[in-house]
């Protein structure tokens, strides 16, 4: 039995080494002086791609571009470690050479400054994914914590159309129910829920209902299960908690539409500061715990092993770890 177990573990490790592991969303402190090399923890954990947030609801164009320029400059200045992911081929090249491909994302449309032409500008600078709203209503639509759900606005529809044209992935995470459903209907390209969890498993307003997941999958998109304790359970960051959400999504729409967007925040203090500085974005309940827990990048191999241990096929595990988000990028990115 010991020999059999050891052989099984070696097989799982070999399978993980072959996988192209894709992290669809993580957060560094949004400061131009941030140490971007913290991202290398993903590479050390076996990941080949990471999407890094460069701006969200409180930020306008100037603040966003300052952070984006600094992060991008660091990536380009360290080609021995990083590949700026302009294309899917760049991601594959990073995997083949043991480096980390990096792209950026925006968690809200406020960094557009009300201008759809900024979509192209951000895309040219490396932003490959953008959320329409972040928790609360903005010019594009309603957020998941709004008392009234007005759905996608006309500006929001214009933004979705421009993202489709440019090749930027449309993201319905943090959106209200109606806004997300409007986004799925409006987009002519696959839409993702980059870092969400399933509301059927844990009933939190930030999580998404089964029909939202089904509508996302119907576009050809992917739900990336996040690793935030308060969304997985009662601040539960066990591997088992995350896999419960993965299993539910797989049972609902098939493994081809499930991935990982751990939403790992590299600075706990930064998270608590955001809660204090922007209380309107985070309703009561976010401060229930002294600190919000996150699943760390180093857990990725254990997540892969847990998925295999739950009976997911090799093909399914490879898809969930990164192949499914890679497929979306192949379809959407220009």
Which of 70, 84, 77 lies closest to 30, judged by CA?
70
What is the per-residue pLDDT across 62-71, written as a single tens digit (0 to 9) for each? 999 999 999 9
What local confidence, expressed as pLDDT, does residue 266 receive? Answer: 94
Helix (H, G, I), strand (E, B) or coil at 31: coil
Q: What is the DSSP letter of 208?
A: B
**Burial status of residue 272 (CB atoms within 10 A of its CB: 0-12, 13-18, 19 or more):** middle
Residue 272 vs residue 327, higher pLDDT: 327
Residue 1 vs residue 84, higher pLDDT: 84
CA 75 to CA 77: how far, in whole Å? 5
Per cent of the chain over pLDDT 70 is 96
- Domain spans in the chain, listed from the N-terminal domain onward: 21-332
Task: Name the CATH superfamily housing domain 21-332.
Answer: Metal-dependent hydrolases (3.20.20.140)
Using N-to-C axis directions, what is the helix angle for 177-186 and 210-218, rounded to 10°?
10
What is the per-residue pLDDT across 270-326, written as a single tens digit (0 to 9) for each? 776 777 777 777 877 787 888 899 999 999 999 999 999 999 999 999 999 999 999
Q: pTM for the complete prediction?
A: 0.95
Q: Is the pLDDT of residue 56 over 80?
A: yes
What is the token pair recorded at 113? 């400054």
Q: Is the pLDDT of residue 123 over 80?
A: yes
CA 295 to CA 24: how far, in whole Å? 14
In this prediction, residue 2 has a pLDDT band, given cuts at 50, 70 and 90, of: low
């Amino acid at each position: 039995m010991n020999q059999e177990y050891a052989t099984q573990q070696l097989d799982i490790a070999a399978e993980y080494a072959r996988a192209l592991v894709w992290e669809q969303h993580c957060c560094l402190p949004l400061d131009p002086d941030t140490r971007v090399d913290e991202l290398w923890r993903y590479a050390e954990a076996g990941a080949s791609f990471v999407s890094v947030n460069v701006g969200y609801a409180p930020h306008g164009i100037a603040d966003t571009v300052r952070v984006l320029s600094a992060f991008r400059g660091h990536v380009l200045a360290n080609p021995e470690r990083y590949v700026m992911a302009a294309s899917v081929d760049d991601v594959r090249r990073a995997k083949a050479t043991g480096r980390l491909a990096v792209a950026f994302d925006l968690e809200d449309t406020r960094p557009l400054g009300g201008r759809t032409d900024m979509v192209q500008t951000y895309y040219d600078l490396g932003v490959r994914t953008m959320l329409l709203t972040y928790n609360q209503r903005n010019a594009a639509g309603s957020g998941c914590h709004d008392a009234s759900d007005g759905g996608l606005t006309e500006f929001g529809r214009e933004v979705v159309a421009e993202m489709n044209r440019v090749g930027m992935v449309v993201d319905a995470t943090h959106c209200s129910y109606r806004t997300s459903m409007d986004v799925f209907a409006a987009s002519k390209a696959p839409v993702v829920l980059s870092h969400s969890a399933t509301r059927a498993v844990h009933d939190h307003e930030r999580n998404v209902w089964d029909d939202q997941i089904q509508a996302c999958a119907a576009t050809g998109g992917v739900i990336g299960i996040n690793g935030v304790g308060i969304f997985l359970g009662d601040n539960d960051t066990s591997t088992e908690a995350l896999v419960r959400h993965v299993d539910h999504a797989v049972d609902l729409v098939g493994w081809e539409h499930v991935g990982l967007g751990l939403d790992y925040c590299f600075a706990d203090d930064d998270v608590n500061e955001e809660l204090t500085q922007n209380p309107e974005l985070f309703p009561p309940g976010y401060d229930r715990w002294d600190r919000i827990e996150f699943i760390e990048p180093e857990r990725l191999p254990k997540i892969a092993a847990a998925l295999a241990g739950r009976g997911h096929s090799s093909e399914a595990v490879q898809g969930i770890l990164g192949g499914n988000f890679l497929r979306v990028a192949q379809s959407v990115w220009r």
